Amino acid sequence: MRAAVTAHKDFTIAEIDPRLYGSFIEHLGRAVYTGIYEPGHPTADAEGWRQDVIDLIRDIDVPITRYPGGNFVSAYNWEDGIGPKETRPVRLDLAWHTSESNQVGIHEFADWAEKAGTEMMLAVNLGSRGLDEARAFLEYVNHPGGSYWSDLRKQNGRDAPWGVKMWCLGNEMDGPWQIGQKTAAEYGRIAFETAKAMRAFDKSIELVVCGSSSPKMATYPEWEATVLDYTYDSVDYISLHMYFDDHEGNTANYLAQSARLDDYIATVAGVIKMTKTKKRSKRDVYISFDEWNVWYHSREQDRPVLEGKQGWPHAPALLEDIYDFADVLQVGCILNTFIRRSDVVKVGCLAQLVNVIAPIMTVPGGPAWRQTTYWPYLYASKYGRGTALNLAVDCPGYDTEFAKNVPYLDVSAVVDGDGVMTLFCVNRHQSDDMELAVSLQGFGQMTVLMDKVIAGHDPHAVNGPEGEPVAPVDGVGAAIANGVLTASLPPMSYRMIRLGA
Ligand code: AHR
């Protein structure tokens, strides 16, 4: 099969916000305890942070990390996580039916974020709590001193404010599973008032209002329209969440699901535009896609804990999806979609970062290891920064139950400040090679600088602590002649090619 792509240096989509490649750490399962935090682990520093995990995160260069939830935040008291560790209360976490020791709170997370080289994105509890808690938390985190909450922070050992820029106004408030679920109007009002109070403290913070927790919600997209009607001029982003699964075992359908993602983004972009016009507003609201990933492998094994059959365990294994080779392609297609919609999707958070539906896994007391999906995430984060190109793609496609003519080639391209162009390609075809030809226009002379391929595995092949067979290898055969890059993409393959002068 042939795929023809045209890339012109000046035919661009948008400048990519580096925060498109963010991630997420929730107090859920083993993300925090025995994930990033394990005092006594051979690699742990004096504060208990696993260095082996930090090293893997630093390699990805995660620009921003959302915290502390997720569903967890909707019944969380952030004050439980401050002050001497020995006096912090153990609480029952109603979201995941577990116990929370509060040994990690905002001070500890901020310390970890600094060491991991990532910015914090904090969520406030608009489920069981509200405006007052949100403004107190903001003052505690961002005020220099001379007020009750900021002085308490100083007493607790942190003199300088952390200056956190991005704040989420609750989490998935449309979900019946949420503690304190709200109707769109109820949420729109509380989000508006909370935003008003938070902005009264600091106009420069960036606020994220909850959109739908999934396009499958019966309330979608009316939810977005109502919530934005209340909040449009008070917020900067609307959050979207989407998880992908192949519970049917239908690889062709599975790999086409980014078409649904595209549709989701386009619809919400339309609602944003409609609201802006209706309000005669001068400002723009963008999308913060602050939860996305593949999530289905662990659903059955999680049931006993989630149904409360194991009491209230502390940091049990939950949502520990073991990703396979097919998931590499899925994550590659999702990231490509975000790059192609970087005009409207400014922030993205891979949910999550360690142990919980994560690219990085740990063995308590043992090694940290890379899941299959670590690689497309790493490549996008490292090499997908700059300007997204608007490519013309000519390639055969296939029909699924939910989308027609999904191209076998999924591709995006980014040009960085040095003029280096990176192409991210996925061949969705399960049996055919794809002969790719990319016409390079306006770039001048280019050569292949880097070429990485993940291919040739059984779709269900996985990595583990004993070995990581699903990993990139150097690509062969990519060549440029007469301004055309040619390369062969094996069936079901991920390939990243970097071109420069
Ligand atoms: O990321 C796992 C969970 O998925 C989050 O806690 C919640 O926001 C979503 O439903």
Banded model confidence at residue 46, pLDDT cuts 50, 70, 90: very high
Query: Residues 6 or more apart from 85 whose CB is under 8 A from it?
Result: 103
Answer whether 170 contacts ligand 1 (Cβ < 6 A): no
Average pLDDT over the chain, rounded to an integer: 97
Answer whether 293 contacts ligand 1 (Cβ < 6 A): no
Is residue 291 flagged as an active site residue? yes
Tokens 């007493």 correspond to 155
Helix, strand or coil, per DSSP, at residue 232: helix
The CA distance from 6 to 23, in Å, is: 32
Catalytic residue among 26, 133, 172, 224: 172
Answer whether 172 contacts ligand 1 (Cβ < 6 A): yes
What spacing in Å lies between the alpha carbon of 443 and ligand 1's midpoint? 42
What spacing in Å lies between the alpha carbon of 291 and ligand 1's midpoint? 7
Tokens 């007052």 correspond to 132
- For the stretch 31-44, pLDDT in tens is 999 999 999 999 99
Q: Which residue has its alpha carbon closest to ligand 1 atom 3?
A: 70
| Residue of 1, 15, 8 whose CA lies nearest to 391 | 8
Tokens 């910015």 correspond to 119
Amino acid occupying residue 329: L
Burial of 269-293, coded b for 16+ CB within 10 Å and e otherwise, reads bebbeebbeeeeeeeebbbbbbbbb
DSSP structural state of residue 303: H
Report yes or no: 118 and 57 within 8 Å, Cβ to Cβ: yes
Q: What is the mean pLDDT of residues 109-130?
A: 98
User: Which of 185-189, 222-226, 398-402 is least confident?
Assistant: 398-402
- For the stretch 459-474, pLDDT in tens is 999 999 999 999 999 9
Q: What DSSP letter does each residue of 118-141 carry, written as one string?
A: -EEEEEE--SSS-HHHHHHHHHHH
| pLDDT value, residue 162 | 98
pLDDT above 90 for 482: yes
**Structure tokens given for 480:** 């440029």
Q: Which residue has its alpha carbon closest to ligand 1 atom 5?
A: 70
pLDDT above 90 for 378: yes
Residue 364 to residues 40, 52, 122, 298, Cα–Cα distance (Å): 10, 12, 27, 19
Q: Which residue has its alpha carbon closest to ligand 1 atom 1?
A: 351
pLDDT above 90 for 497: yes
Q: What is the mean pLDDT of residues 436-451?
A: 97
The CA distance from 495 to 300, in Å, is: 32
What distance lies between CA 343 and its chain's CA centroid? 17
What spacing in Å lies between the alpha carbon of 70 and ligand 1's midpoint? 5
What spacing in Å lies between the alpha carbon of 95 and ligand 1's midpoint? 9
DSSP structural state of residue 18: G
Please name the residue ranges forming H helices in 258-373: 258-278, 299-306, 325-340
| pLDDT value, residue 368 | 98
DSSP 3-state percent helix, strand, coil across the chain (nearest 5): 30, 30, 45
pTM, full prediction: 0.97
Residue 244 to residues 49, 327, 340, 403, Cα–Cα distance (Å): 31, 9, 19, 15
CA angle 317, 319, 323 (to 5 degrees): 110
The β-bridge partners of 435 are 2, 488
Helix, strand or coil, per DSSP, at residue 359: coil
Q: Is the dihedral of CA 178, 180, 181, 186 positive or negative?
A: negative
- For the stretch 320-339, pLDDT in tens is 999 999 999 999 999 999 99
Residue 207 to residues 123, 167, 191, 473, Cα–Cα distance (Å): 10, 5, 10, 41
The CA distance from 254 to 331, in Å, is: 11
- For the stretch 342-354, pLDDT in tens is 999 999 999 999 9
- For the stretch 48-100, pLDDT in tens is 999 999 999 999 999 999 999 999 999 999 999 999 999 999 999 999 999 99
Report yes or no: 253 and 400 within 8 Å, Cβ to Cβ: yes
- For the stretch 167-190, pLDDT in tens is 999 999 999 999 999 999 999 999
Answer whether 451 contacts ligand 1 (Cβ < 6 A): no
Q: What is the mean pLDDT of residues 192-219?
A: 97
- Which mutation among 71, 213, 319, 321 tests ligand 1's pocket best, with the greatest number of atoms within 8 A of CB? 71
The CA distance from 78 to 82, in Å, is: 7
Answer whether 69 contacts ligand 1 (Cβ < 6 A): yes
Report yes or no: 107 and 158 within 8 Å, Cβ to Cβ: yes
The backbone torsions φ and ψ at residue 85, rounded to the nearest 5 degrees and listed phi first, read: -60, -35
pLDDT above 90 for 287: yes
Q: Which residue has its alpha carbon closest to ligand 1 atom 7?
A: 70
Answer whether 74 contacts ligand 1 (Cβ < 6 A): no
| Residue of 151, 219, 154 whose CA lies nearest to 188 | 219
Which atom of ligand 1 lies nearest, measured to the CA of 213?
10
| pLDDT value, residue 161 | 98
| pLDDT value, residue 478 | 98
| pLDDT value, residue 247 | 85
Answer whether 26 contacts ligand 1 (Cβ < 6 A): yes
Which atom of ligand 1 lies nearest, measured to the CA of 28?
6
What spacing in Å lies between the alpha carbon of 449 and ligand 1's midpoint? 38
**Structure tokens given for 420:** 């280096």
* Structural domains of the chain sorted by starting position, each given as residue range(s) with its CATH number in brackets: 2-9+389-500 (2.60.40.1180), 17-383 (3.20.20.80)
Please name the residue ranges forming H helices in 256-295: 258-278
Tokens 């583990």 correspond to 464
Q: What is the mean pLDDT of residues 148-160?
A: 98
- For the stretch 126-146, pLDDT in tens is 999 999 999 999 999 999 999
User: Which of 228-232, 286-290, 400-404 is least confident?
Assistant: 400-404
The CA distance from 204 to 409, in Å, is: 41
Report yes or no: 258 and 327 within 8 Å, Cβ to Cβ: no
- Which mutation among 67, 241, 297, 356 tests ligand 1's pocket best, with the greatest number of atoms within 8 A of CB? 241
The β-bridge partners of 64 are 119
Question: Count H helices, E strands: the chain?
Answer: 11, 26
Which atom of ligand 1 lies nearest, measured to the CA of 175?
10
Percentage of the chain modeled with pLDDT above 90: 99
